[in-house]
A and B are shown apart, each in its own frame.
Chain A
Amino acid sequence: MSLASNISRRSWAVWQRNKDVFFKTWKTNFLPPFLEPILYLLAMGFGFGMLIQELPPPWDVYTYAEFLGPGLIAISAMYGAFFECTYGSFVRMHYQKTFDAIVATPLTIEDVIAGEILWGATKSFINATIVALVVAAFGLMSFPDFLVIIPLTFLVGLVFGAIAMMFTALVPNIDSFNYPFFLFITPMFLFSGTFFPLEILPQVVQDIALLLPLTHTTILMRSFGLGVYGSIDLISIAYLLVLTLVTFYAAVWMMRRRLVN
């Protein structure tokens, strides 16, 4: 049987399960995505930004806080799903045996993994939307263009959720997540045009950065956040769509290999 035919709408029952747990403690869950961008904007955007006389072109028409805002949204969209589908999914799979309990019902393991990734994407969507609203509240975004960001955060969540799930299928134990975080996530966090324009880096580094999903996420967030989008943004959207399909399929396949024996 093919993987795709084993994914059904029953996946939503997994999504609902995770949503129910999340909303049990929603007040605590909503606090970080609300406070974090405020702290970053105050410290980095307005504090550190004071030191910056002028950004290099084409960003020279913006303040540093305006430049930074979309980067914070992109980071939040990355971390939301990546945390959820690494640590969160691993705990459910390994410690709580939740996956075992669910596959004893009419759901397949493919349903479970699909539901987990969809939930991860939802976490990105929730967190990044809150961040976007906070950044907008500081008057740093172009209205109504920035609203396009909101559905995009779900797509970004699918990519990072699926990539995270691939690591979850591989790690021998929960401590091993340090590797993808320090070798993959943290470098992207710093070098994907989030905190400073890629244009100031050597061409070869820029080329490498353009292979990374967070770079394209940041490009999109900034284009729509500042209202300077164009047909070039379709490349980033196409990149994220293709990467979603490939990583989603790979994640389901790898998890099946890990769990079905």
Chain B
Amino acid sequence: MEWVIAAEDLTKKFEELTAVDHVSFRIRSGECFGFLGPNGAGKTTAIRMIQCVSPVTSGKLEVLGMDVGRKPREIKSRIGVCPQEDNLDPDFTAWKNLLVYARYFGIGREQAEARARELLDFMALTEKKDVEIEKLSGGMKRRLIIARALMNDPKLLVLDEPTTGLDPQARHLIWDKVRELKKRGVTVLITTHYMDEAQQLCDRLVIMEKGRILVEGEPLALISDHVGSGVVEVLGPDDALDQWLKGRAWTYERAGDRVYLYTDDNRAVRELIQKEHPGANVIIRDATLEDVFLKLTGRGLRD
């Protein structure tokens, strides 16, 4: 098995904060791997160590078989990074952004132009070739950043929140492109706050909190292991119903005026509730990764 990223006991300490706390994970060649977690979980810090711009405090981290501390230039020349923050060069057009970026990799002019043309087409930006960066929409900028990250034909593509703030059309386009890249054999590491995105794209993922990995696995397996296949939501139950629900053997969780019951047989549970408490407002749905996420990381705000 070829590991594209292998982290063992990886730790990153800032003065007082341990941002990444003894985590171990391995990412296979050709898979799409997700880092999920609330703000401050350590996702971006982990990515910054992987892209060799933030030194490792302790532990081992190998990317493409090379140690991040010893071979940063070699690693960086073979990976593509799409940062969370827009750092396109505002002094240039879309086209020139790609060419200038290629120069940092030492890619020759002719090859860079061919590659830029191809990638603008791939990311549906050919028409925007000569447009200055500030005139591009948020979605176009994101697509251009991905195109830029692909200029060096990377083996590993790192996407840090690639679709935050985008409209549904732009998100779906980016998802399509990520799947297409995966088909071509590119390994993808992605962080996201959108659970549907992770469920759509990731072969495997980890959920992180406070610098640690809480769980690791395939999205569907995580759902069935941690919450079961179905969810029953009871809206605004009165005290009697609430007490009754709490007394049953189901996994019970209350948030605001809503009760969540996690079960593999949500139809039967709904029937039972409505039989015992006619008039109860009950919704059933399939369990999602979001249920796993909230169950594991809690519902408190992280600001």
Q: Which residue of chain A lies nearest to B145 when distances are taken between CB atoms in the complex?
A: A101
Question: From residue A8, how far is it (CB to closest CB) to chain B in Å?
Answer: 8
B53 partner residues in chain A, CB cutoff 8 A: 100, 103-104, 260
- Would you call A10 and B87 a contact (CB within 8 A)? no
- Would you call A96 and B89 a contact (CB within 8 A)? yes
Check if B250 is an interface residue, CB within 8 A of chain A: no
- Which one of B30-38, B73-81, B119-127, B222-230 contacts A? B73-81
Contact A105 B105, CB 8 Å, known A17-B100, A20-B92, A261-B14: yes
B89 partner residues in chain A, CB cutoff 8 A: 17, 96, 98, 101
Contact A260 B88, CB 8 Å, known A16-B103, A102-B104, A106-B73: no
Check if B51 is an interface residue, CB within 8 A of chain A: yes
Q: How far is the CA of A20 from the CA of B92 in the complex (A)?
A: 9
Check if B175 is an interface residue, CB within 8 A of chain A: no
A20 partner residues in chain B, CB cutoff 8 A: 92, 96, 100
Q: How far is the CA of A105 from the CA of B191 in the complex (A)?
A: 20
A97 partner residues in chain B, CB cutoff 8 A: 85-87
Q: How far is the CA of A43 from the CA of B74 in the complex (A)?
A: 57
Q: How far is the CA of A10 from the CA of B76 in the complex (A)?
A: 13
Check if B83 is an interface residue, CB within 8 A of chain A: yes
Q: How far is the CA of A145 from the CA of B53 in the complex (A)?
A: 48
Q: Is the interface of B mostly helix, strand, loop or mixed?
A: loop
Contact A104 B51, CB 8 Å, known A20-B96, A261-B14: yes
Question: From residue B137, how far is it (CB to closest CB) to chain A in Å?
Answer: 19
For the A-B complex, the count of residue pairs with Cβ-Cβ distances under 8 Å equals 62
Question: From residue A188, how far is it (CB to closest CB) to chain B in Å?
Answer: 30
Check if A124 is an interface residue, CB within 8 A of chain B: no
Q: Which residue of chain A lies nearest to B148 when distances are taken between CB atoms in the complex?
A: A101
Q: Which residue of chain A lies nearest to B133 when distances are taken between CB atoms in the complex?
A: A96
Residue count of chain A within 8 Å CB distance of chain B:
21
B101 partner residues in chain A, CB cutoff 8 A: 101, 105
Q: Which residue of chain A lies nearest to B86 when distances are taken between CB atoms in the complex?
A: A97
Check if B106 is an interface residue, CB within 8 A of chain A: yes
Check if A194 is an interface residue, CB within 8 A of chain B: no
Q: How far is the CA of A207 from the CA of B116 in the complex (A)?
A: 58
- Would you call B104 and A10 a contact (CB within 8 A)? yes
Proximity bits, A219-244, B CB within 8 Å = 1, else 0: 00000000000000000000000000
Check if B39 is an interface residue, CB within 8 A of chain A: no
- Would you call A100 and B104 a contact (CB within 8 A)? no
Proximity bits, B93-104, A CB within 8 Å = 1, else 0: 000100011011
Contact of B88 among A101, A103, A104, A261 (CB under 8 A): A101
Question: From residue B103, how far is it (CB to closest CB) to chain A in Å?
Answer: 5
A residues 67-125 near B (Cβ < 8 Å) are: 96-98, 100-108
- Would you call A100 and B90 a contact (CB within 8 A)? no
Contact A98 B87, CB 8 Å, known A17-B103, A105-B105: yes
B54 partner residues in chain A, CB cutoff 8 A: 260-261
Check if B236 is an interface residue, CB within 8 A of chain A: no
B86 partner residues in chain A, CB cutoff 8 A: 97
Check if B55 is an interface residue, CB within 8 A of chain A: yes
- Would you call A106 and B77 a contact (CB within 8 A)? yes
Counting chain A CB atoms within 10 Å of each CB, which of B77, B83, B100 scores highest? B100
- Would you call B104 and A21 a contact (CB within 8 A)? no
Q: How far is the CA of A96 from the CA of B106 in the complex (A)?
A: 22
B303 partner residues in chain A, CB cutoff 8 A: none
Contact A106 B76, CB 8 Å, known A13-B103, A20-B92, A20-B100: yes
B residues 6-34 near A (Cβ < 8 Å) are: 14
A residues 174-233 near B (Cβ < 8 Å) are: none
B88 partner residues in chain A, CB cutoff 8 A: 101
Check if A24 is an interface residue, CB within 8 A of chain B: yes
Q: Which residue of chain B lies nearest to A96 when distances are taken between CB atoms in the complex?
A: B90
Contact of A104 among B83, B100, B103 (CB under 8 A): B83
A residues 243-261 near B (Cβ < 8 Å) are: 260-261
- Would you call A96 and B92 a contact (CB within 8 A)? no
Question: From residue B106, how far is it (CB to closest CB) to chain A in Å?
Answer: 7
Q: How far is the CA of A97 from the CA of B91 in the complex (A)?
A: 12
Interfacial residues, chain A to chain B (CB-CB below 8 A) = 10, 13, 16-17, 20-21, 24, 96-98, 100-108, 260-261
Interfacial residues, chain B to chain A (CB-CB below 8 A) = 14, 51, 53-55, 72-74, 76-77, 81, 83, 85-92, 96, 100-101, 103-106, 152
List 8 interface pairs A-B (beta carbons < 8 Å), by A numbering.
A10-B106, A17-B89, A17-B100, A21-B92, A96-B91, A98-B87, A105-B104, A106-B73
